[in-house]
Structure 1
């Protein structure tokens, strides 16, 4: 066989191998609708599980899943540590803060009174965490 014939033969073999590799790769990427739905379900964000306050008692349902050998599994969705602020409480707090800002802007409240209230809110924010933690651990 001549050099030209060997080159043609090598090019044909190379093209055939590239085509076969592409076909196998594309065939592996093809998924049925059921497989696609299963993959999408696995990738979906877990739903939040909110537990009510226990007032120091043992929760009815543990927050962590455990393996059969007793070690905790951190793969399960975690639960909330405490009851969250509801919409009415958030709206009430927002009204109070907006009213305080409006009073300051209008000049109906002195700067000293404004600073006293700001300090009161900051103190509440600093102490709220430890107080709530002590209630939870009782």
Structure 2
């Protein structure tokens, strides 16, 4: 083989290597983004359940117009879900319920920004609204 052919082979191998690395990075970014989307969707679902608990009368196992029964513990989470952990992440009540609100936190399974911390989102729930904060991507 001539030098020109060897140079083309080496150049081709380098280009293919770069393409593979870029593809892997794109896949990892998409996986992290999808995980954050799933965590926020799960938190919105849990927020809806918290609002449902707020509206349900005490006699029927609800909060009777309060979030107070939603303690920052496993017992508090049992009012919202029997599985506080799933393939998307782990969910907790980060601030115990008060008469007017409760705060939920979800920690995903992917580290989107490479800082060593998995994606994390927090949602504050009131009787008629919610407020989502993404603290770590």
TM-score, normalised by the number of residues in structure 2: 0.29
Compare the two structures and name the one with the higher strand fraction: 2
Compare the two structures and name the one with the higher helix fraction: 1
